[in-house]
Amino acid sequence: MAARLRSVTGRVIIVAALVGCASACGPPSGVGQGGPPATPQVTPQASYSASMAATVSIIDTALAGQGIRVAAPIVPYRPAEPASLAAAARVILQADVQDPGAGYVGIYELRDTASAAARGAEFADYLESGFGQTNYPLDAQFALAQVGSTLVFTWWSIGRSTDPALARLAFDTVAGVGQPIPVVK
């Protein structure tokens, strides 16, 4: 009986210590304690705005014209991007290029066409920078364009493609949508 009581007492002490540590230690400073809010995580949109829906439709129609299906990706994907686009509403699509790790198309929605043009120039600068390029294969090619108040971004790499001809066709098709924003490597 005494051994059983010591065992129960020991468990109670361990649980009390863990609860005490959790409330004393708590989350890191500023998180959940009235400090600065955490950076919001962008989630996929359940429904599109009119401008986003129009751009998605343009991409879908262009790729369908080449016999390429497009849908939401099966796995989460977020392209490397400048900080100015981190909180922008976005839709990620994936062209079926017979490669589960390729064919991504990002569509970003900005406040208006002037904002889209400014963020597009920043995105191009980011992709041209050494830091921006470290997030992609050395042979990556980029396509960035503006469609009204949205930006369309895609990239491809011949060295990482399982079907280079199909991947190139999808890339060229998406690159032909909207007003191109040049990215010089």
3-class state of residue 111 by DSSP:
coil
pLDDT at 19 over 60: no
CA distances from 60 to 86, 111, 177, 178 (A): 24, 23, 11, 13
pLDDT, position 46: 57
pLDDT, position 133: 81
Between 16 and 91, where is the model more confident? Answer: 91
At 135, the pLDDT band (50, 70, 90 cuts) reads: confident
Neighbouring residues of 169: CB distance < 8 A, sequence distance ≥ 6: 66, 68
Instruction: Note the pLDDT tens digit of each residue in 59-97.
Output: 999 999 999 999 999 899 999 999 999 999 999 999 999
CB of 109 closer than 8 Å to CB of 52? yes
Mean pLDDT of 40-63: 80
CA distance 57 to 4: 69
pLDDT, position 130: 81
pLDDT at 111 over 70: yes
At 20, the pLDDT band (50, 70, 90 cuts) reads: very low
